[in-house]
């Protein structure tokens, strides 16, 4: 039974210690696979098409069907994460890497838009002061103010545990920072079970509605809000959606309902357990990491770049709607547009293009 009063069983209920001893979610590209990718990407480059047009039809990855099937099944029914290693980054320029990864995402699922510009692939790097365009409240003093989750993502600052607005998030590491930038992954299911054992009263709070803001996504301020629980269950399957920054942003608006002390305490314990139960690692150039946002949280340590030595962190990101995704509870329409399983959903879309494509 999947609710606030029973432990949730399944392979996705792992701890960091358990994950460290389980190598089933890590796989190396073979030499033969790299040769096939080389030929395909080379042919795409010679065609003269821009990287943004790459996809399953224009840049077909033949011979990878079994791998994509295994990844999709592991993400939805297994550990909820997958890591591919050994892609030869040094062989390709940045446009070729983006074309490959966008096509990779289109073979696994459907890449959805990540912003109001309709971009289906983002370069995640420190944009310095330019990151402020994604949302800052209270900029009177240099470096001060409340930054949206999106502004934080495009900086070198730490990112707290959170989920993204899609079924699966994929990251492709092109360069790593000179120092820091370690990734952390935590099972929301393991956190659920630990909280049930430790503080079942606070677990119940996470199944209640929390006011959230879209500040930094569709909104330039915190004037509007929506209500959504942190934990839900539908058709026997657990799902979570969580970013404390969106909750904090909503509280900047005095017209938004105030959080009860118990709700705040529940978020404190969630953050404590995420850190306690997480798995820490550093993505290396050539690594591809895939995470199921409905069962896992991810975070990032702050980092320091050094462009002169090539140590300036650069990751490419895709947000995917998955053909084997789970049903989502009522209320998720506000973020995902559609709660039915296996549909195109999630993302941040230009107003005239939302959910215009089909799996």
Is residue 189 a contact partner of residue 12, using CB atoms and an 8 Å limit? Answer: yes
121-144: pLDDT as tens digits:
999 998 887 776 777 777 643 456
In this predicted structure, what is the pLDDT of residue 143?
A: 58
In this predicted structure, what is the pLDDT of residue 139?
A: 62
When pLDDT is averaged across residues 138-155 and rounded to a whole number, the result is 70
3-state secondary structure of 69: helix
Residue 143 burial (CB < 10 Å; 0-12/13-18/19+)?
exposed
DSSP state for residue 158 in the 8-state scheme:
-
- The answer to whether the predicted template modeling score (pTM) of the entire model surpasses 0.85 is yes
Average pLDDT of every residue of the chain:
92
When pLDDT is averaged across residues 297-322 and rounded to a whole number, the result is 94
52-94: pLDDT as tens digits:
999 999 999 999 999 999 999 999 999 999 999 999 999 999 9
When pLDDT is cut at 50, 70 and 90, the band that residue 353 belongs to is low
Residues 6+ apart with CB under 8 A from 272: none
When pLDDT is averaged across residues 224-251 and rounded to a whole number, the result is 94
Count of other CB atoms within 10 angstroms of residue 250: 24
pLDDT score of 4 more than 60: no
When pLDDT is averaged across residues 195-222 and rounded to a whole number, the result is 90
Q: Two tokens at 301?
A: 């340590």
pLDDT score of 358 more than 50: no
In this predicted structure, what is the pLDDT of residue 357?
A: 43
In this predicted structure, what is the pLDDT of residue 156?
A: 86
In this predicted structure, what is the pLDDT of residue 215?
A: 80
| Alpha-carbon distances of 260 from 20, 158, 211, rounded to whole Å | 37, 27, 11
pLDDT score of 352 more than 70: no
When pLDDT is averaged across residues 238-259 and rounded to a whole number, the result is 94
Stated length of the chain: 359
When pLDDT is averaged across residues 268-292 and rounded to a whole number, the result is 97
The more confidently predicted of residues 220 and 339 is 339
Nearest to 86 by CA among 299, 287, 293: 287
């Amino acid at each position: 039974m999947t609710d606030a009063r029973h432990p949730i069983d399944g392979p996705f209920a792992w701890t960091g210690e358990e994950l460290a001893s389980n190598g089933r979610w890590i796989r190396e590209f073979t030499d033969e696979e790299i040769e096939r990718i080389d030929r395909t990407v080379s042919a795409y480059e010679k065609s003269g098409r821009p990287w943004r047009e790459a996809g399953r039809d224009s840049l077909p990855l033949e011979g990878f069907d079994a791998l994509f099937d295994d990844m999709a099944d592991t993400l939805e029914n297994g550990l909820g994460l997958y890591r591919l290693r050994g892609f030869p980054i040094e062989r390709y320029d940045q446009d070729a890497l983006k074309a490959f990864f966008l096509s990779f995402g289109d073979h696994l699922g459907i890449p959805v838009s990540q912003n109001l510009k309709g971009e289906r692939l983002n370069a995640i790097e420190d944009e310095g002061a330019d990151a402020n365009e994604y949302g800052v409240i209270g900029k009177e003093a240099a470096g001060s103010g409340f930054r949206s989750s999106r502004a934080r993502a495009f900086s070198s600052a730490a990112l707290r545990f959170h989920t993204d607005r899609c079924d699966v998030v994929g990251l492709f590491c092109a360069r790593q920072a000179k120092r820091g930038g370690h990734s952390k992954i935590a099972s929301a299911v393991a956190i659920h079970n630990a909280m049930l054992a430790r503080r079942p009263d606070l677990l119940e709070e996470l199944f209640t509605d929390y006011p959230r803001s879209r500040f930094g996504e569709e909104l330039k301020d915190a004037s509007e809000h929506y209500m959504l629980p942190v934990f839900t269950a539908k058709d026997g399957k657990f799902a979570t959606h969580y970013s404390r920054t969106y909750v904090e942003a909503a509280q900047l608006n005095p017209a938004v309902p105030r959080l009860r002390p118990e709700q705040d305490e529940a978020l404190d314990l969630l953050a404590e357990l995420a850190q306690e139960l997480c798995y820490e690692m550093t993505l290396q150039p050539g690594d591809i990491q895939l995470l199921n946002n409905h069962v896992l949280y991810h975070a990032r340590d702050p980092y320091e770049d050094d462009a002169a030595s090539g140590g300036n962190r650069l990751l490419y990101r895709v947000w995917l709607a998955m053909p084997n995704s789970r049903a989502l509870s009522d209320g998720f329409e506000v973020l995902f547009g559609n709660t039915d399983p296996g549909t195109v959903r999630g993302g941040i879309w230009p107003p005239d293009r939302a959910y215009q494509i089909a799996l």
